[in-house]
Each structure stands twice: as C-alpha cells, then as structure tokens.
Amino acid sequence: MDFQTFETPVNSTDAPAPAAIPGEGGSDGGEGGTNPGVLLVASLLLSAAFLTVVYVAMAASG
C-alpha cells in the first residue's frame, strides 16, 4: 500500500520523466542518471522488505 501511495504523486508530478527514459537509454547507452536511481530505489525496497521479514520473524519467535 505504501508503494502505491508513493507511486501516484510521482506519476502525476514527474510525467515527462518516463518519456525521457527511452531517449536516455538510446543516447547514453543506458548508463545515465536514470539507472542508478532505479537501482537505488530497488535496493531500498528490497532492504525494507528484508528488514520487515526479519522483524516479523523475530516478533513471531519470541
């Protein structure tokens, strides 16, 4: 639910940003400022999910 809440303002505010992603991949070869941002967000989401699983497991065990 948090990701959908975060996704809606991004789509409404940064509407030109998704249109610039294909141009960035073709002009810069895919190593521009867009891919590190995507990797950063993905790593933060994965770490948050991992910490949530660990917290739930610790809370359930004791």
Q: CB under 8 Å to 11, separation ≥6 — which residues?
A: 18
Instruction: Quote the CA–CA distance of 9 and 51 in Å, as a whole number.
Output: 25
pLDDT of residue 35 exceeding 50: yes
> pLDDT confidence of 34, banded at 50, 70, 90?
low
Domain spans of the chain, in order of start: 2-61
> pLDDT confidence of 11, banded at 50, 70, 90?
very low
pLDDT value for 56:
97
pLDDT value for 38:
86
